[in-house]
C-alpha cells in the first residue's frame, strides 16, 4: 500500500476547509475543533456509566464477517456499565457499534456544538458514539449512506487507515456490499496485509493517522476506513449529507437498492451469490494489476 500522513491543522477557516479538503475530498485532522466543547473534559467512562450504565448494548468482536454472516448482528450483549468495567481493566477486543447514546441521554447534545460553519447538511438527529476496547478493530469498509463525517476522538487513541472511494477495486470490494474481502488487521506489521492473496493492495493509495484525545478527523463521503483501538476509548461521529443531488442519490441507492438486493440474494442463493461476487471482485482487481503491470 502507498500511504501518506493525513494533514493536521489546529484551526481552519471555512473557506480554507472548503477549498483544501471538502471540495477535493481530502481528509484532514483538526486538532482544536472541539477544544471549547464541554464534552472534551466532561465525557469519560465514569460519567457515561452514570447516565447510561443500565442500557443494554450490542457488542462486536474482531472476527471478520464472511459471506454468510448477517450484517450488523451483535456477537454478545451487556449493559453499558458492564462493558465499561470490562474495557477499563485492560485490552478487550470488543466494540459498540452505532450506539445512539443521545436517545437515552439527550442532555449530552448540550455538550458539543455542531460545526455548521465548515459544511452544511448535518443529520442532527443522528450523532453516533463509537466505543471500543484496546485491540478492538473496525474492519475496512465505507459508510453506506455516503455522508461526510467529522469523527472526534475522546478517551484513548485510535489508528486509522483511509482510502478514497475510487480505490475500491484495489481494496477488493465485495460487489453490492460496503466491505473489503481483504483483512487489514494489524496492517502495519510484517506479513500484513496478505499481498500474496491480494496483490492489488500494493497499488492502493491512501492515508494513515493516529487520532488522539480531542482530534477531529474529516472523512470525505465514500472514504474507505479501517480503525484499530490502541487504547480503550470512544469517539463521536457527526454526519453531513453530500450537497449534490447525485451524491444523495448514491446514498439512497446503497441503502434501499444495493442492500436489499444483497440481502435477498444471500437468502435465496447464498453459495452462488458468494462465488459470483468473489469472481467479480477478483476480475476487477486483476484489471487494476494489468493496467499497472504489477504482480
Q: Report the pLDDT value the prediction gives residue 98, as an integer from 0 to 100.
A: 66
- Residue given cell 454526519 in the structure block: 239
How many domains would you assign to the chain? 1
Kindly state whether residue 262 falls inside one of the protein's structural domains: no
Q: What's the rounded Cα separation, in Å, for the pair 162 and 206?
A: 5
* Distance separating the N- and C-terminal Cα atoms of the chain: 13
Kindly state whether residue 264 falls inside one of the protein's structural domains: no
pLDDT digits 0-9 by tens, 144-164: 999 999 999 998 899 999 999
Q: What angle do CA 117, 122, 123 make, to 5 degrees?
A: 160
Kindly state whether residue 268 falls inside one of the protein's structural domains: no
| Residues whose CB is less than 8 angstroms from the CB of residue 110 and which lie 6 or more positions away in sequence, other chains included | 38
Kindly state whether residue 106 falls inside one of the protein's structural domains: yes
Note whether 159 and 114 are within 8 A (CB). no
pLDDT, the chain, mean? 89
Kindly state whether residue 121 falls inside one of the protein's structural domains: yes
pLDDT digits 0-9 by tens, 100-142: 788 888 888 899 999 999 999 999 887 888 888 888 888 999 9
Residues of the chain with pLDDT under 50: none
Q: Report the pLDDT value the prediction gives residue 74, as an integer from 0 to 100.
A: 61
DSSP string, 77-123: EEEHHHHHHHHHTS----EEEEE-HHHH-GGGGGGS---TTT-S-B-
Kindly state whether residue 164 falls inside one of the protein's structural domains: yes
Kindly state whether residue 278 falls inside one of the protein's structural domains: no
193 upstream amide cis, omega within 30 of 0: yes
CATH number of the domain bearing residue 129: 2.60.120.650
Kindly state whether residue 217 falls inside one of the protein's structural domains: yes
Q: Report the pLDDT value the prediction gives residue 83, as an integer from 0 to 100.
A: 83
Full residue range of the structural domain in which residue 227 is found = 2-247
Q: pTM to 2 decimals?
A: 0.90
Amino acid at each position: 500500500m502507498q500511504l501518506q500522513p493525513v494533514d493536521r491543522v489546529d484551526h481552519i477557516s471555512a473557506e480554507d476547509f472548503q477549498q483544501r479538503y471538502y471540495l477535493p475530498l481530502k481528509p484532514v485532522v483538526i486538532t482544536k475543533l472541539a477544544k471549547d466543547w464541554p464534552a472534551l473534559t466532561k465525557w469519560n467512562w465514569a460519567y457515561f456509566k452514570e447516565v447510561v450504565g443500565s442500557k443494554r448494548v450490542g457488542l462486536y468482536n474482531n472476527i471478520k464477517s464472511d459471506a454468510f454472516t448477517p450484517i450488523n448482528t451483535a456477537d454478545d450483549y451487556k449493559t453499558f456499565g458492564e462493558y465499561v468495567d470490562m474495557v477499563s481493566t485492560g485490552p478487550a477486543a470488543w466494540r459498540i457499534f452505532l450506539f445512539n447514546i443521545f436517545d437515552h441521554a439527550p442532555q449530552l447534545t448540550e455538550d458539543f456544538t455542531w460545526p455548521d460553519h465548515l459544511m452544511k447538511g448535518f443529520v442532527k438527529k443522528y450523532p453516533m458514539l463509537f466505543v471500543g476496547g484496546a485491540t478492538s478493530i473496525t474492519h475496512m469498509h465505507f459508510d453506506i449512506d455516503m455522508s461526510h463525517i467529522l469523527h472526534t476522538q475522546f478517551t484513548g487513541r485510535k489508528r486509522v487507515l483511509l482510502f478514497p472511494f475510487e480505490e475500491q477495486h484495489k481494496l477488493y470490494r465485495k460487489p453490492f456490499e460496503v466491505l473489503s474481502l481483504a483483512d487489514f488487521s494489524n496492517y502495519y506489521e510484517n506479513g500484513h496485509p496478505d499481498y500474496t492473496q491480494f496483490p492489488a493492495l500494493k497499488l492502493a493509495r491512501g492515508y494513515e493517522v493516529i487520532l488522539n484525545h480531542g482530534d477531529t478527523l474529516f472523512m470525505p463521503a465514500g472514504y474507505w476506513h479501517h480503525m484499530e483501538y490502541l487504547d480503550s476509548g470512544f469517539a463521536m461521529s457527526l454526519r453531513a449529507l453530500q450537497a449534490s443531488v447525485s451524491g444523495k442519490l448514491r446514498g439512497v441507492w446503497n441503502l434501499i437498492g444495493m442492500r436489499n438486493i444483497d440481502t435477498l440474494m444471500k437468502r435465496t442463493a447464498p453459495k452462488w451469490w458468494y462465488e459470483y461476487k468473489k469472481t467479480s471482485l477478483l476480475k476487477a482487481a486483476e484489471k487494476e494489476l494489468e493496467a499497472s503491470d504489477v504482480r
